[in-house]
Amino acid sequence: MPEMTHTHLVDQAPDAVIFAGADGRITTWNTAAERMFGFTAAEAIGQSLDIIIPERFRDAHWKGFERAMGDGVTKYAGQFLPTRAQKKDGSQFYVELGFAIIVVDGESVGAMATARDITERFESDRAQRRKLKETEEELAKLRG
């Protein structure tokens, strides 16, 4: 059996796997990230995480990133958060993100994230909520 490395595991993971150093520059970008965001690894590595963060979310992202780097932990550890991300072409979509701050010898060296495209699920849920609201409004009119 051929030797398996961590690189193989990360690159072949079904979800996007991204690692950025403490400076917020991307150092790991797997095949799923390429498909999801449209940037090749060669294009993404060395770039700021800003390439995948919609502009309106950047201030909040960097405040949280800097706080997490200083604390060595994120308040979202163990959680997956729905948010928006940005593709190479500038279009936005919904992702579910999981975060971890990577600490080596007591020092925060960067952040790892996994991302999964949840656009279909998000839009389906939104359509169901809209339909429910319309039904409730119609029912209220009938009770009137």
Residue 138: inside a domain = no
In angstroms, the CA 77 to CA 71 distance is 12
Q: Which of 60, 68, 131, 136 is nearest to 100 (CA)?
A: 68
Residue 46: inside a domain = yes
Does residue 54 contact residue 84 with C-beta atoms inside 8 Å? yes
The CATH number covering residue 80 comes to 3.30.450.20
Residue 80: inside a domain = yes
Domain around 83? 13-119
pLDDT per residue, tens digit, the chain (144 aa), is 777 788 888 999 999 999 999 999 999 999 999 999 999 999 999 999 999 999 999 999 999 999 999 999 888 888 999 999 999 999 999 999 999 999 999 999 999 999 999 998 878 888 888 888 888 888 788 887
Residue 18: inside a domain = yes
Residue 96: inside a domain = yes
Residue 137: inside a domain = no
Residue 23: inside a domain = yes
Count up the domains in the chain and report the number. Answer: 1
